[in-house]
Amino acid sequence: MRLDKFLVSTGKISRSDAGRAARGGKITVNGIVEKHADRHIDPDTDIITLHGERIVYRRYTYILLNKPAGYVSATEDGREATVLTLLPEELQRIGLFPCGRLDKYTLGLMLPTNDGDLSHRLLSPRHHVEKRYAYTCKLPLLPEYIEMLEVGVELEDGYLTKPARMIAEPQSTSGIIVLTEGKYHQIKWMFEAVGNKILSLERVTFGPLTLDPTLDRGEWRYLTDEEVAALQSGVKGVDEP
Ligand code: URA
């Protein structure tokens, strides 16, 4: 892989700045200054530094973000701030996109990544990846409505939802709803379908991932290798159509 391509893929630098940094003697390969940004390196074995900082190669990047209210789940939006703007600039240059959408006022666990294949698998209904949402709603949920949500309800557009799991006391106005699918505004419309209204929503788990309590709203961290492996092992072995 070319040295400049490697550096650009980490989000640390643009291609033209990589050339400039190399000519200025700011890059080393295995301890030796490298002035040619087009030189080939092995990202798995060569040790690269930029401005004295060791640059670790990540084929793909996986991020756990605690989404605050007011951000849209898109890569670009002409009018609204996207969740990607919560990340440092260097991470906004490496093709990240949110794996699955949350509404503008929904909070909690988001997974920006640039691994399209894993994202596709995690979102595919075939893999039944569970997502848990903590909700509050306007009216106490009667037992028959809890049951309806568990069996499946018809949304405004005629879509029949798959069975959801409800962790909710009868007559309460808060609880957890567990889904394995994610239609646009799904929970909002499911509650409308039983004559209720969602007041707040927070995603607290996504497959094996749990919202990290050490992250404040708007904060993020890289997934650990164990978390990435757990995501991958949960969605392997089922053929795509
Ligand atoms: N369902 C919704 O209605 N909104 C979300 O953000 C996620 C699921």
Q: Which CATH architecture has domain 3-55?
A: Roll (3.10)
Atom of ligand 1 lying closest to residue 179 CA: 8
Mutate to test the pocket of ligand 1, among 133, 189, 200 (most ligand atoms within 8 A of CB): 133
**Exposure string over 196-217, b if 16+ CB within 10 A, otherwise e:** bebeebbbbbbbebebbeeeee
Every domain of the chain and the residues it spans:
3-55, 63-125+212-234, 130-206
User: According to the CATH classification, is domain 130-206 in 3.30.70.1560?
Assistant: yes
Please work out whether the CB of residue 164 comes within 6 Å of at least one atom of ligand 1: no
Q: For residue 93, what pLDDT is reported? A: 86
DSSP assignment of 69-127 equals TT-BSSS--SSS-BGGGGS-GGGGGS--EESS---TT-EEEE-EES-HHHHHHHH-GGG
Q: How far is the CA of 89 from the centre of ligand 1 (A)?
A: 27
**The CATH number of domain 63-125+212-234, selected from 3.30.70.580, 3.40.120.10, 3.90.1150.10, 1.10.1060.10:** 3.30.70.580
Q: For residue 162, what pLDDT is reported? A: 95
The overall pTM is greater than 0.85 = yes
Q: How far is the CA of 106 from the centre of ligand 1 (A)?
A: 7
Q: For residue 238, what pLDDT is reported? A: 53
Mutate to test the pocket of ligand 1, among 176, 178, 181, 186 (most ligand atoms within 8 A of CB): 186
pLDDT (tens, 9 = 90+) of the chain, 241 residues, equals 999 999 988 878 888 899 999 999 999 999 999 999 999 999 989 999 999 999 988 889 999 999 999 999 999 888 999 999 999 988 998 999 999 999 999 999 999 999 999 999 999 988 999 999 999 999 999 999 999 999 999 999 999 999 999 999 999 999 999 999 999 899 999 999 999 999 999 999 999 999 999 999 999 999 998 999 999 999 986 545 4
Could you check whether 3-55 and 130-206 share the same CATH topology?
A: no
Q: Which of 42, 103, 115, 157 is catalytic?
A: 103
- Residue 110 in contact with residue 119, Cβ under 8 Å? no
- In the annotation, is 239 catalytic? no
